[in-house]
Amino acid sequence: FEFIKGVRVENGDCKIDFEDEGFLKTFAKSQIPQIYNPDTLSSFKDSECINVSHFKTILYRIYLLDISNGKLSSIVFEPTSKSANDFFSEYDCKRINHKTFMDFVKSNFQLQDYKIEKNNIAQNLTNYQKKINVALEEKSSEEAIAILDEYFKDSLFIEPEIFFNNISKFIGFSKQEIWFLLKDVSKKEIDAIKNLTINSKEKYFFIYLENNEISQQLYDEINKANEQFQNVYILLMDSVVEFNVLFKSDNKTWNVFKREKSNIPISINGDLHQIEKHFLCRNITEFDLEEKYLNKYRVSFAKEYVPIVDKNIKVFFNELNTDDETGKDKIASINNIDTKLLPFKNLGNSRNYFQSLERQKQQAINSILQNRMHKITSDIEKLSKKFTENTNPTIGFIEKIEAQIEKEKEKCLDEEFTLFVELEAKLKITKKDIEIASQRKSIIIDTNILLEEPNIIEIIGQQQTIIFSGKVIDELDNLKVKPDLKDKAQNAIRNIHKHRQDKNIRFNTSKIDNLPSDFNKKSPDNIILSVALQYMKRNPVILTNDKGMSIKAKTLEIPAKNITELKNILGMKKQAKSTNKNRTNKRRK
């Protein structure tokens, strides 16, 4: 019982609500009317049980899908009697009063109207209708049948049109493999097959075709254009008796759609109609399909394609020269060279073959990767040399090198990008330094700098703003009592005092609340950083030799430099000024 009162019931786990009296009465009336039927005034109370028997059967639920309009109907029937089970069918479709299941199917065909003047297909149907009518008027039934056969093979036949226009909806939900058995295909149907395969590259298509000129053309095209149709396999047969579509769905069962011949289009009261056929779908388990159907068919495709693909692989490797090869596309070709063999990987004794092929592929790829490594390293060295030889780089110069790097990276594999990291980091730092050099800076000086270079104020000059935090002054004052640092601390304090009235000198106290919540508010380094945060709109630079403080400054997006780095930055500005001055003089001359 799959659907009862809208509740889904799994096999073997019956969840019928036996406490629902109304439900049980309805059930009993349908299933055991001789015992319970209010219409004949019989009920359980006045019934005698003289015999007990148990009846068991399998009920099949058939889904009828009209893919032209997307409507779905279903019916439950018993296979032995082929009769519809009225009780269970009425819960998801209108009550069926037909005696047999086939009567139900026939009664549910739909007649679809076509406007002749706007529909080429309809015009085609009309032409065939006229031919058949003439043949029948002349009492030539054989000629009428011949015309009918011609119509079925015509590319404008309505049923294949609907089928191929809509089967992509099902393929979109399928998994991995789709199998076709196609009879009497036309040029238009062949084009539809090609479009399906091209638009579903991630799936494999196994196609049986009746051997004719059109099928042979598709077979030749697919096997010549190997890269375009890596996922397509075709076998040409003398006879294909069915039109089935099989595909693997999300629930790991195989759906089978069967197309049968449709009736001739009919004319009713002068209006053109075409009988729409439903595609009957049934589910069979993956196990049943693999064991009973697909394995032997898969072997047939393997016998056809493995020799062809293996020959192409051998030719490829014989022509491949890995000594000088550096192409990225060549690596992709090697990786994908056995794609067409993958569906046959578990057939027979193929394990050794695939292991040997994998070793051959990896050996060729490793050789190409090594060649690429040498080439990329050489290119990076040239760019690095070009960068280091320029003693006065500009942002424009650096951006040109960065553009060259991006151009080189377009030819690289993802894992090769790391080779450029070191040079890119140097360019980024230099670029940032140039930007810093071109602006007036607010330089916050750490205590260790003043101990190393007491005359740092003179070195920086008056073009930059110099900030001393109260914490730095406090630390210098405390260091005066230490014998090994006494002289350096006094010299630093003396120099600060000397320049205290200069316009570019600032003294600031900390603002601890500016620090992030996870920073220790009592740390001397963090107290100095809180001063730097007050100058975020004035290009702050922390001048320190403390690596820990440099890291913390970086987390706050504040540049941190040591004395050497600062001198280089200040030198950049002087060089830039000198260059601009020379250019101005030349223009004046």
Per-residue pLDDT reduced to its tens digit, 411-424: 888 888 899 999 99
Residue 83 burial by Cβ neighbours in a 10 Å radius (0-12, 13-18, 19+): middle
Give yes or no: residues 341 and 285 share one domain.
no
pLDDT band at 529 (very low <50, low <70, confident <90, very high): very high
Tokens standing for residue 10:
């799994």
Close Cβ partners of 330 (under 8 Å, ≥ 6 residues apart): 320, 368
Q: Looking at the domain assignment, is residue 298 inside a domain?
A: yes
**Mutual orientation of helices 158-172 and 120-137 as an angle, nearest 10°?**
140
Give yes or no: residues 477 and 546 share one domain.
yes
Residues 274-302 have a mean pLDDT of 65
Please state, in angstroms and rounded to a whole number, the distance separating the CA atoms of residues 33 and 288: 39
Give how many domains the chain has, as a whole number.
4
Give the pLDDT confidence score for residue 115 in this predicted structure.
45
Q: Looking at the domain assignment, is residue 428 inside a domain?
A: no
Give the pLDDT confidence score for residue 276 in this predicted structure.
47
Which contiguous run of DSSP H or E holds residue 280? strand 279-285
Least confident residue range of 131-145, 232-246, 282-296: 282-296
CB 177 within 8 A of CB 343: yes
- Is 246's pLDDT higher than 70? yes
Mean pLDDT for all residues in the chain: 75
Give yes or no: residues 450 and 550 share one domain.
yes
- Is 505's pLDDT higher than 90? yes
Give yes or no: residues 410 and 449 share one domain.
no
Task: Please work out, in degrees rounded to the nearest 5, the angle formed at the alpha carbon of residue 309 by the alpha carbons of 308 and 311.
Answer: 70
Q: Looking at the domain assignment, is residue 271 inside a domain?
A: no
Selected residue with higher pLDDT from 222 and 22:
222
Give the pLDDT confidence score for residue 530 in this predicted structure.
93
Give yes or no: residues 550 and 507 share one domain.
yes
Q: Looking at the domain assignment, is residue 160 inside a domain?
A: no
Which residue, 82, 109, 136, sits at the end of a domain? Answer: 109
Give the pLDDT confidence score for residue 8 in this predicted structure.
39
Give yes or no: residues 286 and 329 share one domain.
no
The strand ranges marked E within 339-498 are 442-445, 465-469
Give yes or no: residues 228 and 346 share one domain.
no
Antiparallel, parallel or unpaired: β 442-445 and 279-285: unpaired
CB 433 within 8 A of CB 570: no
Residues 32-42 have a mean pLDDT of 70
CATH code where residue 555 lies: 3.40.50.1010
Q: Looking at the domain assignment, is residue 553 inside a domain?
A: yes
Which residue, 86, 109, 132, sits at the end of a domain? Answer: 109
Give yes or no: residues 327 and 298 share one domain.
no
Helices (H) and strands (E) in the chain, counts: 21, 19
Residue type, 188: K
Q: Looking at the domain assignment, is residue 465 inside a domain?
A: yes
Strand partners, 466: 443, 505
Give the pLDDT confidence score for residue 77 in this predicted structure.
60
- Is 114's pLDDT higher than 80? no
- Is 513's pLDDT higher than 50? yes
Give the pLDDT confidence score for residue 89 in this predicted structure.
47
Antiparallel, parallel or unpaired: β 505-508 and 465-469: parallel
CA distances from 558 to 532, 548, 553, 555 (A): 8, 13, 5, 8
Give yes or no: residues 299 and 341 share one domain.
no
How does pLDDT run across 353-399, given as a tens digit for each residue? 899 999 999 999 999 999 999 999 999 999 999 988 887 788 888 88
Strand partners, 507: 468
CA atoms within 13 A on the CB side of 356: 8
Please state, in angstroms and rounded to a whole number, the distance separating the CA atoms of residues 308 and 236: 15
Residues 302-328 have a mean pLDDT of 89
Domain extent for 499: 438-577
Q: Looking at the domain assignment, is residue 119 inside a domain?
A: no
Give yes or no: residues 442 and 557 share one domain.
yes
Selected residue with higher pLDDT from 62 and 158:
62
CATH code where residue 187 lies: 3.30.870
Least confident residue range of 194-198, 330-334, 389-393, 491-495: 389-393
Q: Looking at the domain assignment, is residue 100 inside a domain?
A: yes
How does pLDDT run across 324-363, given as a tens digit for each residue? 888 888 998 899 888 889 888 888 778 888 999 999 999 9
CA distances from 39 to 21, 42, 46 (A): 17, 8, 14
Please state, in angstroms and rounded to a whole number, the distance separating the CA atoms of residues 439 and 436: 5
CB 278 within 8 A of CB 240: no
Give yes or no: residues 179 and 256 share one domain.
yes
Quick check: helix, strand or coil at residue 408?
A: helix
Give yes or no: residues 242 and 327 share one domain.
no
